Amino acid sequence: MNRRYFLHLSVITAGYLLVGCEDRGASDKKQSPKPPEIDSALDKLSPQVENIAEDFIPFSQKLKIPSEINFSDTSKPVFTAQKSNVNIFEDVKTDVLTFQGGLPNPTIRITRGDTFNLDLINNLADPTIIHWHGLIVPEEMDGHPLSVISTNQTKHYHYLVNQNAGTYWYHSHPHGRTGEEIYYGLSGLYIVDDKQEEYLNLPKGEREVPLIIQDRRFDNKLQLLYKDPDFLHDNNGVLGDVILVNSTPFPFYEVKTAKYRLRILNGSSARTYKLAFDNIENFLLIGTDAGLLEEPISVESIVLGVAERIDIIVDFTAKQIGDKVTLKTLPFKEGSNMRMNPSYPSFDALMDIMQFHITEEFKDTSVLPEKLVNIPRIKESDAIQTRKITMEVISGGIWTLDKKPYDMHRIDQRVKLDTTEIWEIKNTAHMAHPFHVHGVHFQVLDRDGKLSFPTDKGWKDTVLVMPNETVRIIMHFTMPGLFLYHCHILEHEDHSMMANFLVE
């Protein structure tokens, strides 16, 4: 093992754990609200205190770019959910889960109007299934946990893609194990193109770069560590100290003096990022979860909750060869007052993510269009009803929607096909929750909190609801079937913060 991976063991005391924390939502079924028991749980020193990031030289590994499966020249790819052994760090193999043997998993690329065909083979010991996040597809193609396939079974996916060009993603979605499977590797990007977008002449080829951001923990042998089931606060969300971009730890990427299009996915378990660049004050937001914005919005930073995507243009034209630009996450303590595992950087941490190295001159004379696409606004007056949904912790510390732990077989809401509804999502817990709805795209009407989010202006399938905030979204349901809505903090959705709705 390379010496730069030398392990530094932090010693964390229970006393430190108790400083400045609230415990409103500590969330394990075994946990009692009684202080003495909480204390004893905190006294248990988590074994996951191997902060290898402190001794890792950042920006020393080159960003991996996922291979692409392009449906214009591939008829039917095969994904095999499998155990694999890959180089996340140079010189060391790490045990992971993959769909084709390597990480990052391939990016799926398809043009609107084309048919998606793929066989999923399950070579894992447990049942699994893939959800195509942001794709509006029939129930049996959507990857509901009821659709899991057992070991050695094959699932045939076959559906028409007819929706906005945009940056979507795919990930495994088995009941209760989504967090763990994504953590070990089972996710990837899914890009939909269309003719309209092609005319906009946005940066493409090597200047269109996908970035899947995921924080992780590693032990001193550089093997992934998921949550410690006995360490109660990991159920509030697993945070790591090593940030992987496209499965590369704190990578660098060589760029020219040109404009770049970055398609960014927060594929983490629980971390909300507040993304910004050193040495670049402003960048342009051009797209959100489910398509382009009407016009680019200039921003200094952008908040990205778990499962959200942004499409941005970063301009390196004024840079000199040799310059370096770091993508970082700014402290975002508004994201959580919950007690997280204190061995790892929390929401108030400033962390570097990756670095762009300017290495080549390029005469970039391209001009970004002022107008991107039309977004027809869904009218409030078209809604036939408003549903109220609350995000809360119930007795026993269980994360829920509407105080009901998830039951795969229960239908929680019935929606009439081809109608419009407003959903009012109220967050009563002291932690921001990314709220995701399957089988539909929505628009954000308003939020009653202090923060405003430029991403609210675009098409969404996931929206971050801040602590003590109510967000209203509006959507029109076009796909019949049984779908899910849930918190996308993976430890929360696995821990009951999920529900079913039937469109009929």
Which residues of the shown chain bind Cu ion in the complex (CB under 5 A)? 433, 487, 489, 492, 497
Q: H-helix or E-strand containing 497?
A: none
Min dist. Cβ of residue 329 to Cu ion (A): 19
Min dist. Cβ of residue 465 to Cu ion (A): 9
Which CB atom, from 217 or from 492, has the smaller least distance to Cu ion?
A: 492
The answer to whether the beta carbons of residues 52 and 218 sit under 8 Å apart is yes
Min dist. Cβ of residue 144 to Cu ion (A): 19
Which CB atom, from 497 or from 499, has the smaller least distance to Cu ion?
A: 497
Cα atoms found within 13 Å of the Cα of residue 63, Cβ hemisphere only? 21
Which CB atom, from 132 or from 399, has the smaller least distance to Cu ion?
A: 399
Min dist. Cβ of residue 489 to Cu ion (A): 4
CA distances (Å), origin 261, targets 106, 207, 258, 501 = 19, 6, 10, 36
Question: CA 178, CA 238: separation in Å to the nearest integer?
Answer: 13
**Distant-in-sequence, close-in-space partners of 333: CB < 8 Å, separation ≥ 6:** 346, 347, 348
**Distant-in-sequence, close-in-space partners of 398: CB < 8 Å, separation ≥ 6:** 27, 29, 405, 495, 496
Which CB atom, from 339 or from 492, has the smaller least distance to Cu ion?
A: 492
DSSP 198: H
Q: By three-state DSSP, how is residue 126 classified?
A: coil
Which CB atom, from 163 or from 341, has the smaller least distance to Cu ion?
A: 341
- Give phi and psi for 244, each to the nearest 5: -95, 135
Other beta carbons within 10 angstroms of residue 240's beta carbon come to: 26
> C-alpha angle with apex 117: 112 to 118, nearest 5 degrees?
130
Which CB atom, from 53 or from 270, has the smaller least distance to Cu ion?
A: 270
Which CB atom, from 115 or from 468, has the smaller least distance to Cu ion?
A: 468
Min dist. Cβ of residue 491 to Cu ion (A): 8
| 166-172 and 115-122 beta bridge pairing | unpaired
Closest CA relative to residue 55, chosen from 325, 277, 250: 250
Min dist. Cβ of residue 265 to Cu ion (A): 18
Min dist. Cβ of residue 453 to Cu ion (A): 17
- Give phi and psi for 61, each to the nearest 5: -115, 140
